[in-house]
Structure 1
Amino acid sequence: MSTMNRPYFHESLSQIIVKKDRAEISNWTESMELINEELQSLILLEKQVLGSPQWNQQLVAVQRENQFRLGALYRYERTMTKAIKCDTTECDAYYLNTHEKNRDGYMDHVCKKRA
């Protein structure tokens, strides 16, 4: 691959991928933090207006799941420093598969909340 085709020709391909993955994780966590803030507002609004235990339980369950997923993403983000140090195909494949699993988990979570 020519260095002219790479946006950061002074970095290795694995460094570029890790940067891309970190940016993606940052977007996911930011999105989930916003969802969490919206859920907090909805829970407060539900208590003040509806006072329905059923709605409250559903909103709290969604918030709990969101916090669980957010925590998993933060834990995953901390492991990304090890991905830079990969020097084997097996190591790269592990981090690629882990990233894809986290992406799928995030997308499933967000799609469920939209429905």
Structure 2
Amino acid sequence: MQFKVDENRRLFIKKDILEISQWTDDLESKNNEINTFSILNRQLVKCEKIQSLIQDFRRRNTLAMAALCKYEQNLRQELEFGSVEYDVQRAKVHEKKRVEYLMFIKDYRVLKTTIYNQLTQYKRK
């Protein structure tokens, strides 16, 4: 019975690690897009408000990436050396991380829409 519990614990932790890996890949991609938006703003739009939003998002993205990397490290240590059962409490912690990630993505969509709306004001001559 104990073997089955440990096997399930390891499986759930591996699932969480894979999900975190997907999130960090997505945040890295968002960082590249933000860099492009920043260049577009500096060269074309030249709006201080948008530049401020971009910088704010870049900082938040960096902090979110750091938090996810730390969380992933903790999970990897737990996978390798831990023996704490994967219970409802641990699932809630991961679900909280998921909600934070999804809220971050929603904020990014708002930023993107703001930038695109600003870009639609420009017409080709």
**Shorter-chain TM-score above 0.5:** yes
Aligned-residue sequence identity (percent) comes to: 25
8 Å CA contact 1:83, 1:95 repeated in 2: no
Higher helix share goes to which structure? 2
How does 1:1-115 map onto structure 2 within 5 Å? Answer: 12-84=7-79, 85-88=82-85, 92-115=87-110
Please, which runs of 5 or more residues in structure 1 have no aligned partner? 1-8
Work out which structure has the larger RCO, using CA pairs closer than 8 Å and 6 or more positions apart in sequence: 2
Aligned alpha-carbon RMSD (Å): 2.2
Q: TM-score, normalised by structure 1?
A: 0.80
Q: TM-score, normalised by structure 2?
A: 0.74
8 Å CA contact 1:29, 1:73 repeated in 2: yes
Please, which runs of 5 or more residues in structure 2 have no aligned partner? 111-125
CA distance in 1, matches of 2:84, 2:22: 27
8 Å CA contact 2:38, 2:51 repeated in 1: yes
Q: CA deviation at 1:101?
A: 1.4
